[in-house]
Amino acid sequence: MFMRNNNNILKTLMGGGGSFSSGGPGKGMHSRLYLRVLTKYHGVQSFSAFSNVYDNTGLFGIYLTTPPDFVSKAVVIAVQELIAIATPGQVTEVELTRAKNSTISSVLMNLESRVIVAEDIGRQLLTYGSRKPIDHFLQCMEELTLDDVTAFAKMMLSSQPTMASYGDVNKVPPYEFISMLLQRFR
């Protein structure tokens, strides 16, 4: 559960969105990527964290959409945001509490659907070999600390990064450059 909870919290903490939100005003406005990227760089069309968790591994990243003339800067900003969450003191207790509350709320609302409950049972059986009760999840969320989140982010960044680009990729920084920016975690 450690990896799954940290991954979910990081995704919620980082958040993001688009320059136009189809979910209406206010959706995601307190997330780090919204406050630190979307409100400052008006050329960015979308900037969002994503994650998937498996048995003993996971996937975490940032998806961004930007015009070709800003892509180089946007990729560096994405890396800087990942480094920030792995740096002690860069995430506040208020941000963590907001991310925990949002994650808990989202999970509880999703579990009101029988289809999602069935999917969750299957996913937990495949991931953990058993189904954990919701109280276990809630307790794990409450026990997460800033140190846990920072340690998880450092662990996550210690692996080789993966990078994919689509569209006009002429100004996308090379993989070696991105890998070099994250070198201190390996």
φ, ψ for residue 174, nearest 5 deg: -65, 155
pLDDT bracket for residue 19 (50, 70, 90): low
Q: Dump pLDDT digits (tens) for 56-85.
A: 778 899 999 999 999 999 999 999 999 999
Gap between the Cα atoms of 92 and 88, Å rounded: 10
Domains of the chain, residue spans: 2-185
Give the Cβ contact number of residue 13 at 10 Å. 24
pTM listed for this prediction = 0.84
CATH class as words, domain 2-185? alpha beta
Q: Dump pLDDT digits (tens) for 84-143.
A: 999 999 999 999 999 999 999 988 998 899 999 999 899 889 878 889 889 998 999 999
The average confidence (pLDDT) of the chain is 88
